[in-house]
């Protein structure tokens, strides 16, 4: 009996130990799987956050450039005489050895350039030419050695290119919402019918229809 009790106790302890080891192994496996899943979720979340930050940064940059473009447009409208400084700087960028200098600008900017930078331009023997194809606020210097493009569109393109955004000077602002759907075309109106003359009956026909037929035998 003592040996049986010892065997029973030994079996109990062995089973208890094996159960604890199995439980610990299950805990470790669960913790490992949970950690891997959490790591995957965290990595996916970080990727989504990074993509969202990139989109927000691009949106902020695009909005900032559009606001800056509007400020420049307002400044050109309020201070059109600033084109004289633009012309002066454009001519200064030309080498002194260049000859046959021609400065093209919008016709409405011609007087402003003459009054604001005329002395400097005459010192370089620059010929002023009005060109309606150019927008106000900019100019183009042509020489025998090349040209200097100081148009507003070109200068803005260079500034926007520094930020990696292809925002042209004339690119319209994005619409705030979709426009209303176009109304369906109305059905063509029916052609007017000519008025019809009223139908009249002859007096004899009316009396004949109202009078009874005397030759017809009465029904019994």
- From first to last of the 220 residues of the chain, give the pLDDT tens digit: 767 767 667 777 777 777 877 878 888 888 888 888 888 888 888 888 888 888 888 888 888 888 888 888 888 888 889 999 999 999 999 988 899 999 999 999 999 999 999 999 999 999 999 999 999 999 999 999 999 999 999 888 888 888 777 777 876 666 655 444 444 444 445 544 555 554 444 444 443 444 445 444 444 4
| Amino acid 196: pLDDT | 52
Q: What is the pLDDT of residue 53?
A: 85
Say if strands 127-130 and 102-105 run parallel, antiparallel, or are unpaired: parallel
Predicted confidence at residue 38, as pLDDT, reads 85
Q: How far is CA 196 from CA 57, 91, 191, in A?
A: 75, 84, 15
Can you give the pLDDT at residue 100? Answer: 93
Report how far residue 122's alpha carbon sits from residue 101's, in angstroms, rounded to the nearest whole number.
10
Check: pTM over 0.75? Answer yes or no: no
How much is the pLDDT for 168? Answer: 79
């Amino acid at each position: 009996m003592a040996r049986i009790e010892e065997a029973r106790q030994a079996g109990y302890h062995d089973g208890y130990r094996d159960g604890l080891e199995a439980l610990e192994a299950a805990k470790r496996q669960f913790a490992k799987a949970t950690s891997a899943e959490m790591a995957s979720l965290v990595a996916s979340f970080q990727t989504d956050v990074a993509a969202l930050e990139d989109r927000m940064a691009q949106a902020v940059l695009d909005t900032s450039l559009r606001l800056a473009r509007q400020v420049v447009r307002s400044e050109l409208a309020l201070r059109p005489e600033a084109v004289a400084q633009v012309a002066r700087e454009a001519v200064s960028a030309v080498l002194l050895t260049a000859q046959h200098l021609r400065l093209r600008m919008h016709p409405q900017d011609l007087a402003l350039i003459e009054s604001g930078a005329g002395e400097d331009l005459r010192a370089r023997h620059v010929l002023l030419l009005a060109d309606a194809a150019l927008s106000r606020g900019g100019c183009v210097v042509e020489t025998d050695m090349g040209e200097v493009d100081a148009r507003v569109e070109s200068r803005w393109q260079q500034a926007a290119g520094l930020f990696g955004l292809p925002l042209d000077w004339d690119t319209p602002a994005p619409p705030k919402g979709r426009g209303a759907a176009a109304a369906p075309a109305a059905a063509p109106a029916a052609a007017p019918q000519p008025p019809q003359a009223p139908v009249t009956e002859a007096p004899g026909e009316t009396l004949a229809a109202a009078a009874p037929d005397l030759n017809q035998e009465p029904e019994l």
